[in-house]
Structure 1
Amino acid sequence: MLQIAENLKDATIMMVDDEPMTMIVVQTFLEEFGFNHFIQVEDSLKVMDILEEQLPDILLLDLIMPGKSGMDILAEIRNHSKMSRLPVVVLTASSDARDKLKALELGATDFLSKPVDQSELGLRIRNTLEAKAYTDQLAYYDPITKLPNSSMFQDRLVWALEKAKRYNENLALFHINLDQFSRINASIGINSSNIVLTLLAERLKEIIRSIDVLSQTSGVINGSLGPYRAEGSGFTLLLNHPKNAEASAVVATRILRKIREPINIEGNEIVVTASIGIATFPEEASNTENLHRLAISAKDYGKSKGGDSFYFSSEGINAIYEKRLKMEFRLRKAIKRNELLLHYQPKVSVQSGIIRGVEALLRWKNDTLGLVSPADFIPLAEETKLIIPIGEWVLQEACNTLVEWKKMGKKPISMAVNVSPLQMEDPDFIHTVKRILSTTRVDPGLLKLEITEGLFLSNIEEKIEQLKALKSLGVTISIDDFGTGYSSLSYLGKLPVDELKIDRSFIVDVVSNDENRAIIASIIYMAHSLQLTTVAEGIETEEQLHFIQTQQCDTYQGFFFSRPVPFADMVKLLP
């Protein structure tokens, strides 16, 4: 069997033939050699549009077709600025030697007669792709980092911009430049500097891979192009269809953090920082020249401010993220400055009206910002991973509160604490819970950890083992916002949990929405059949309460009974 190099197996092979069976046979032959990516086109009139959109690595072209002949297509390809170098292998049933000569004169790379021999086909395709890879390496790849260079980036940027215009999509162009790299170059020498550039290129590729994985699961970003090597100590990157400016900011933050990680060169630790400028299409520029200019200007502005930062070319968006950076700075100091506090919302028995527990809800009061909305600072804490130390503070404070209430002679009730998926990923989390329970001597049965369905999007068996380990400490587990996800439904019977909290989105119009009434009834029935208790969130009216009473829901919380209140007000409500 013909051996195909691994780097060639990802090549995209486009076939144009008005006989679908011929393309099926050819693809079957080539799949046996290890090729994986194919595009089949029957309509010759659509070929040029598809070529521009898909940018295949090689084209297998029939000559005799209705609509537009292979000769005409070949002539257009060779006169096209972006496709003049595209390898074109002619596959035709024509036995006329003049056709072969004309095709080669028009620029065909190779010529094969139908029916094709499988071995001959595989050999010709392999050789053509190897030749293309070699010439591309010389023309389009940086010899130091092995990244595609600025020439290839410019080609791909033009293609991406045309595609974005056609489908009404947006783009974000990143210009990334290392700070004071000339000084590093002078200090460690050009050879060591090249090693640093190569290592940073690998880090950027790692970030881009994670972005592409994120694009498949979240929809926040629809993939990326890059990284590419720019001149000097620069790199470029293009995000396809970022959902909003914040998505681009998250990527920029990850890049800065990754670049900043220390590099060891011959026993010397080097820390490199970078400045990133971001320009967006169509908001800020409608062509490649302006996109480049704006991104470079934003990058230069970042350098003038000391580097190790990213800036959008839009002043308005920059203002938003300057505010965000200031908030992050203050949030990092919030614990030490005793600016965090807990409010408590009662969880009330549906049948008796007695408070059975509370949910601890985090609040942040800053001298400058005032009382900051959790909707503003919780996502920031998640993104920066500050949620791990903040979450530990919440656990500690919640248990301290249970101790205080016991000293005051209050009846024991449960304390629910929200746990972020990031906390669950922390290898020390279970030990942290155990330590806090031990030092406060709180009855573990009073501590309820609330997790979300999102926790079970991946590695479900591993998460189940984590929950079992937590349960072994004596705490109870609740699934928050139940019904908004779907990943855990098939696993619900296996999950070591005690409670389901019905998301408030189902409660809001439950009186008038038959579908939501059915969902709530089903969740309660399913939970009770699995020996789980239920909590309805967001109860604000008597009608809502009456409905969940008829469905035998166990507990509720919401403004109908009480808003989240500070410690002193909660004490007055306790039995």
Structure 2
Amino acid sequence: MSNFAPKQLVLVVDDDNIMRLLARATLEQGGFAVEEANDGHAGVSAFERLRPDIVLLDVMMPILDGFGACAALRKLEGGNHAPVLMMTALDDSDSINRAYEAGATDFITKPIAWPMLVHRVRYLLRANRAFLDLAQSQARLANAQRIAQLGHWEWNVATDHVQRSDEIYRIVGRTPEQLSAAPKAFLDIVHPDDRPIVEDALYAALYRQQPFNVDFRIVRPDGGIRIVHEQGEVHYDGDRKPAHMQGTTQDITERKRAEEQIRQLALYDSLTGLPNRHLFKEQLGHALARAGRTDEVLAVLSLDLDRFKRINDTLGHEVGDLLLKEAASRLTKTLRQSDYVTRNDLNEVNYVIARQGGDEFTVLLGGLNQAPDTAKVARRILEALSQPFDLDGNEIVASASVGIAVYPLDGNDADSLLKNASAAMYYSKQQGTNNYQYYNSGMNTAALEKLSLESKLRKALEKEEFVLHYQPKIDLAKGTISGIEALIRWNDPETGLVPPMQFISLLEETGMILEAGRWAIRKALEDYREWHKQGLQPPRIAVNVSPIQLRQKDFVDVVRNAIKGSMAGSHGLDLEITESLIMEDIEGNIEKLRAIRDMGVNIAIDDFGTGYSSLAYLAKLPLQSLKIDRSFIITMLNEPDSMTLVSTMISLAHSIRLKVVAEGVDSEEQSKLLKLLRCDEIQGYLVSKPLPANDLAAMLRERKGS
């Protein structure tokens, strides 16, 4: 391979043979390659054929002179970049102006000082290279700014003149003629509600030396709204007065929309659009703080639809979901129209409705004059919900049970009020359907039942009545079993298998979840090792972690002791942790999870979309995967918004390099759609119901043999 760079090519166009000969000899001696043409037409043809690096062009030639030839070659492809050095005996200003107008880069007068020609040519080539590099750099910068929707500007404070890049005009939807160079012109297109924010930020930057960093909306000529982020810095003169200000403007509309979608996921129920339990509790906390200052009476209503499970099981989840949506709509309409709901002023309606989960709703009523006022609202709610529902041609008669807890009579904090309203609601159910009950301290029936269940659970732990069932996950791309989730079951000798929803909450409330959780991790690892001994090559097993477990200071040691004796990464253990649990003590949990990850344990966020995640912290967590809650999966085929949210969650997870698992996949249609959305894995009854360890081993054996 040759290390010599190709020589730069010079095209010499002159009708004088001697001039061409002298030019060739001089330039070749200077290290250039030379081609010749004896008139203007031949020169243009040679340029088009040879694409030289530079052209030496005589002015006075027959047929087509140098002026015409220069103008012609400038119109050719690539002709606008090559330097053209005009050679002329004419030294009048008109001829020189005409040469430049024709497109000449420079001129040299005859007789030519031949020793200087090589230096002149080299200088022009060097200058042209620098010009092309600058143009390319500017083009790349402009393209990068276009892709990032980022423009830049500079404001001369003394002249009150602003220079703006092309991208800014694209962002605001205006031409330079439509948006003058005065700063006020830009302020005029800022949304009226945001204009004071921008003006205050500019003043603080100019005269208080504070950072200029602000988000605001601009209004386009068609009425469209774009959200932009501006930041800049001020430069001062010798007297410390603002001289000029430089900054950037970036269109962040799509980012803000994505953040709003995530906020909706975090704070609102995807099925009904109502606030979820987290937002409700937050708003209840604010209301209690206000009531503590004003002696205001508040009430929390806990509401549960009667016979919902029977309707759901008989007519299917789709009808059940329609009932929940319609019930939420009636609740909202009833409270909005109710004369009994108070208002602090003409604009603030003093109530909040939320879906707690399942068929349970909560209502916060504020600004009450006295506790009995709540009964009027409860009766209106019961009346509204007792009217028949028309759900896809099915006429359903439903009713509700309502429990009421009043601040400050029944509790001084959010947890107490929610717990007592729920206790009153369960007592209401026991009295029959379609009624309401105020909380009172004598409601102990449920407490006695809980005590009995607690006693049975303690014996179950002692007698090892708990078992693990395993539900496989499928890799959508490969169709293979990619993982297994361990699910705890209680094999009650009296009633048989008890589903976790009937005892997990009590295990957590009593702290027995700590022992049960340790047992689940140990048992999952034992089964994993046994399957390995049988040569089944099992995938990794995921065990759910309770909030109580993660809060324990020794949780990392519990996991370490459970996998003790296994090589890092060979134990096959993964942990699944709910989204809201991680956010409780984010910094402490990050430290714990990193320690666990370093043991070779993968970590997944479970039930994503039902909690309140911070995007900034989500990227910091040592996670490997994210599991989309089944509530989004079951609605995505029939609700475009749900599908959009699922797609957003998958894109979000992939953007921070997380694998995505969809829970509750029960149909081929759901599986096909998730594959189109680039979901990585699915889990649900379409794949398999949770299986005892022996049945799961048989499935692994069958798949290995096939």
TM-score (norm 2): 0.40
Larger relative contact order (CA 8 Å, sep ≥ 6): 1
TM-score (norm 1): 0.49
Choose 1 or 2 for highest CA Rg: 2
